[in-house]
Amino acid sequence: MLKMHVLTKRADFLKAARARRQGTAGFTLQARARTPEEAARVDPDLVRVGFTCSKKVGNAVARNRAKRRLREVARALLPEGGRPGFDYVLIGRAGATAEREFGALLNDMRYALRRVHEAPREKRG
């Protein structure tokens, strides 16, 4: 079973923002593999995860509720669907994360994890 650690540093969130992302109806998932230098400093079996909601999600009560729900989704699915050596950031969506059915959020997370770990598709040109 994978161990989880919560991201707190802004630099980690910014690095994840430049990585792969997958949007769903309930939230956006960003995922990035840690560099070899970062991996040497951190336990290789560790999955790091961060949660964020902008003020567009609502007032403090709505943002906190959305983040609690995202934390529970991550706690339920990252140990089985996450990959060691990855950082994940879940971003709440306005009008969706706090109100969406929890089962639907779980399905969104399964879909997003599957998509961010797929091989990138070739662009048609």
Is there a domain that residue 11 lies in?
Answer: yes
Is there a domain that residue 24 lies in?
Answer: yes
The H-or-E segment that residue 71 falls in is helix 60-81
Is there a domain that residue 32 lies in?
Answer: yes
Q: What are 44-71's pLDDT values in tens digits?
A: 788 999 999 999 999 999 999 999 999 9
pLDDT exceeds 70 at position 125: no
Specify the number of domains making up the chain.
Answer: 1
Is there a domain that residue 46 lies in?
Answer: yes
Q: Which residues form the domain of 33?
A: 3-116
Is there a domain that residue 124 lies in?
Answer: no
Is there a domain that residue 121 lies in?
Answer: no
Whole-number Å distance between alpha carbons of 112 and 23: 7
Cα 38 from chain centre: 19
Give CA angle at 57 (12, 49), nearest 5°: 25
Is there a domain that residue 45 lies in?
Answer: yes
User: Side chain identity at 86, as an amino acid letter?
Assistant: F
40 contacts 93 by C-beta, under 8 angstroms: no
What pTM did the predictor assign?
0.92
Q: What are 87-118's pLDDT values in tens digits?
A: 999 999 999 999 999 999 999 999 999 999 98
- SS3 (DSSP) at 12: helix
